[in-house]
């Protein structure tokens, strides 16, 4: 089973890397960019065959390591 975990900063948390990317895009004259927020994406292969079990395992991985839940949100997608 394959899964994708997307981790993003919570609303209201400052994103200096996103601001740097935004500034770089403006300096490169890329039109139409209002703002940028950056995040992380993890593509994971699982041995699990039960979707509920896989989702529990992935949420545990996010809570323990992949996301800092104080300042980040995460989304689990089974592919």
Domain containing residue 24: CATH number = 3.30.1280.10
The Cα diameter of the chain in Å comes to 48
Q: Give the residue-averaged pLDDT of 28-56.
A: 95
Exposure of 42 in the CB half-sphere (CA atoms within 13 A): 16
Q: What does the block give as tokens for 66?
A: 């992949």
Cβ(2)–Cβ(46) below 8 Å: yes
Residue 45 phi, psi (nearest 5):
-100, 130
pLDDT band at 61 (very low <50, low <70, confident <90, very high): very high
pLDDT band at 10 (very low <50, low <70, confident <90, very high): very high
Residue 32 belongs to what domain range? Answer: 2-78
How many domains does one find in the chain?
A: 1
Q: What is the pLDDT of residue 41?
A: 98
Q: Hey, is 44 helix, strand or coil?
A: strand
Q: Give the residue-averaged pLDDT of 59-75.
A: 97
């Amino acid at each position: 089973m394959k899964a994708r975990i997307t981790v993003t900063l919570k609303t209201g948390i400052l994103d200096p890397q996103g601001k740097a990317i935004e500034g770089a895009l403006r300096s490169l004259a890329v039109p139409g960019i209002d703002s940028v927020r950056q995040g992380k994406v993890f593509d994971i292969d699982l041995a699990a065959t039960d979707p509920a079990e896989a989702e529990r395992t992935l949420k545990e991985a996010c809570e323990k390591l992949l996301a800092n839940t104080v300042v980040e949100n995460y989304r689990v997608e089974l592919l």
